[in-house]
Structure 1
Amino acid sequence: MIELRNLTKEFKSKKDRIVGVDNVSLTIQTGEIFGIVGYSGAGKSTLLRCMNILERPTSGVVRVDGVDLLQLSSKELRKTRQSIGMIFQGFYLVSSKTVYDNVAFALKAAGVENSIIRERVEELLNLVGLRDRINQYPSQLSGGQKQRVSIARALANNPKVLLCDEATSALDPNTTKSILALLKKINKELGLTIVIITHEMEVVKEICHRCAVMQDGRVVEQGSTFDIFSSPSDPLTKRFIETVLSFELPAKLLESIQGKLVRLQFRGDMAAEAVVSDMLQSFSVKGNILHGKVEYIQDVPLGIFIMEVNGDELEVDQALDYLRGRVSKVEVMDNE
């Protein structure tokens, strides 16, 4: 669906040359939700804007549905953009126009007949749960409602792709969850390909099938969201994952640890198995679970537990070897 090859975007001034996107290659499949995550200044928003040529790349290839957008004339590009919707952090609604008029604007700009517009606007507002707000103005709406209007407007011309630039960053956690649920619904019901730019790994975990991590204009890691969470390889990715899956044990608790402090990771069906119980019954050791949780990423469980294992050193080592054969990862932690 979306193919980026060796994409580079440079910004030039009289004194400097700044590389916003540095030789990025990505393939985003039809019908998937793809996340691009990174800290501020990583180049992720610039990369997103290159996907519909709001920013013209310095070099590289941008293909959407097999069409190289960089080879299109201005007229052809404008028409192609109708199949690429976009929503922003700042909503960009016209304050003097009603919800109806804000959504209808996109249809009028595309030359849709007036007889069709009313029905289409009502259909879109039903989809985003705002049919009862049709005659209200943006000032009468909450942040989440404004973003729903923006989504309805972006969907007006039946796009194949929806680009979301930090679409939930200005929203509170509960509203963020409701907007993400709406995007998942749209993806499932309309088969829409969605690309989400975010600096929040929680958003990626909640909604994305696959993701890429950016730093200094480059993609440092990409893959399925589950694999990224369960086996991150780049140091930046690991820091992002820690914002969701990290555990901080109190210093006072660490001081009381007498045995080995062990971090266990369970992937998929392993999370439902009685591995720790089996280990305690099989070896002359004692175990005490200090912290743990099971996250569901694309409906697949990922469990992480921290426990203390006490006993004869040989028995403890044998017990840990047993665990290594049953779980996806065993890490002996420093309890200093």
Structure 2
Amino acid sequence: MIEVKNLVKIYETKKGCVTGVDQVSLTVKKGEVYGIVGYSGAGKSSLIRCLNLLEKPTSGEIHIDGVELTTLSKTELRKARLKIGMIFQHFHLVSAKTVSENIAFALKAAGLPKAKIHDRVTELLDMVGLSDKKDVYPAQLSGGQKQRVGIARALANNPSVLLCDEATSALDPSTTKSILSLLKKINSELGITIVLITHEMEVVKTICDRMAVMQDGKIIEEGDVYEVFANPKQSLTKDFVNSILQFELPERLLEERQGKLIKIYFQGEIAEQGVISDVFQTFKVRGNILHGKIEYIQDIPLGIFIMEITGEQVEMDRAIAYIAARTKNLEVIDDAA
């Protein structure tokens, strides 16, 4: 488990002091995947680098598996860091060493007996799907393969925590998907707690159990991923969610509307029920779906549909009231009637 209490990181610059992390407190449960999302400059990189003391906090506490890192001596901290793996956006591989040598370096640094290093490297290469690349150099690898080496190196000493600093930002969408699948597999099979930072909500949606949104060094919203997507509270969180779930209708579709334009949010099992078809069978209205989308977050459906309902005023009102009662979330966005 990771517990952060009142963490502050202040940088001294020529122009004065800059607060990178501002009184952040959070708890990451053992074995979960926790995402921290924010735009550039939000403080998320500073926060994650404080978790293993690559950045020394100005104040606050960091507890990992019951150990308060900020109180440790240099020797104790080196030992504690063996249980905290980290992967980086730009891989940080040693270009003059082969794939095997890059991974073995972490094992040698930890003092693993030479006789055991070969077997452990072989095991790690198999885990990340690079058994056939053990003797090649980083320059001969694709971006996704380089990140797999980075993951293998981070796992070398059997950490209990894996920190991911924008681990997929330099990768194309297809490769990102494969890396996220690998991380989810590692989390599931090894029980490793994963903390990742990103500016991409798609990453959070795909892999995380819980999440936090950072802005100006502070955590402004936190919760279960599905709940944050379904009911974002802060304007920045809504912007992030909109990048995944929302859409703008072309102006031509908004012209010459004759009925009511409504936006319907379907959450959970209701998204898989025939609410709209029931409306057309029950009320004397017509409907025209202009846009719609269903995303599956943590295997739970979350849908948004925009549609126009036409008919007599009374029937439209009754139909809308019925949909609102079934979905618990409906918004009339234009009422030409």
Report the TM-score range of the alignment, normalised by the length of the smaller protein.
Answer: over 0.9
Measured in 2, the distance between the counterparts of 1:91 and 1:52 equals: 17
**Which whole-Å CA distance do the structure 2 matches of 1:326 and 1:93 have between them?**
54
Question: Shift of the alpha carbon at 1:15?
Answer: 4.2
1:208 correspondence with 2:205 = no
Give TM-score scaled by structure 1 length.
0.98
Structure 1 residues 137 and 241, CA gap change in structure 2 (3 angstroms): same
Identify the residue that residue 235 of structure 1 maps to in structure 2: 235
Q: Which runs of 5+ in 2 are unaligned?
A: none
Q: Give the AA of the match of 1:42.
A: A
- Normalising by structure 2, what TM-score? 0.98
Which residue identity lines up with residue 228 of structure 1 in the other structure? V
CA distance in 2, matches of 1:330, 1:246: 14
Amino acid at match of 1:63: H
| Conserved? CA contact 2:221–2:237, under 8 Å | yes
Q: 1:71: which partner in 2?
A: 71
Residue 100 of structure 1 aligns with an amino acid whose one-letter code is S
Aligned to 2:266: 266
Deviations, residues 34-89 of structure 1 (Å, cap 9, x unaligned): 00000000000000011111111111111001111111111101100000000000
SS in 1 for 2:287: strand
Alpha-carbon distance in 2 for matches of 1:37, 1:335: 36
Question: SS state of the match for residue 6, structure 1?
Answer: strand
Q: Which moved more, 1:153-162 or 1:9-18?
A: 9-18
Match of 2:189 in 1: 189
CA drift of 1:14 comes to 4.9
Q: What does residue range 279-298 of structure 1 map to in structure 2 within 5 Å?
A: 279-298=279-298
Q: For 2:15 and 2:249, how far apart are their aligned partners in 1? A: 49
> How far, CA to CA, are the matches of 2:17 and 2:133 in structure 1?
47
CA contact (8 A) 1:254 1:335 kept: no
Please list, as runs of the form range in 1=range in 2, the aligned pairs for 1:308-327 lying within 5 A after superposition. 308-327=308-327
Q: Secondary structure at the match of 2:136?
A: coil
Give, in whole Å, the separation in 2 of the partners of 1:315 and 1:146.
60
Number of the residue aligned with 2:157: 157
Which amino acid counterpart does residue 50 of structure 2 have in structure 1? C
CA distance, structure 2, for counterparts of residue 335 and residue 327 of structure 1? 20
8 Å CA contact retained: 2:271, 2:302: yes
Does residue 249 in structure 1 map to residue 259 in structure 2? no
Compared CA separation, residues 248 and 88, structure 1 to 2 (3 A)? same
Equivalence for 2:198: 198
Q: Does 1:28 align with 2:28?
A: yes
Q: CA deviation at 1:13?
A: 3.0
Cα separation, 2, equivalents of 1:36 and 1:188? 20
| Superposition deviation, residue 254 in structure 1 | 1.3
Q: Spell out the pairing of 1:140-155 with structure 2 (5 A cutoff).
A: 140-155=140-155
Aligned to 1:180: 180
Return the offset for 1:294.
Answer: 1.1
Question: Which residue does 2:222 correspond to in 1?
Answer: 222
Distance change (3 Å), C-alpha of 1:201 and 1:335: farther
Residue pairs, 1:84-99, within 5 angstroms: 84-99=84-99
Structure 2: distance between partners of 1:95 and 1:31:
33
Larger deviation, residues 190-199 vs 275-284: 275-284
Q: Which residue of 1 aligns with 2:128?
A: 128
Cα displacement (A) at 1:28? 0.2
Query: Aligned partner of 2:83: which letter?
Result: S
Provide the aligned C-alpha RMSD in A: 1.1
In the alignment, what sits opposite 1:118?
A: 118
Name structure 1 gaps, 5 residues minimum: none
Q: Deviation at 1:256?
A: 3.6
> Hey, which bits of structure 1, 4+ residues long, moved more than 3 A?
none
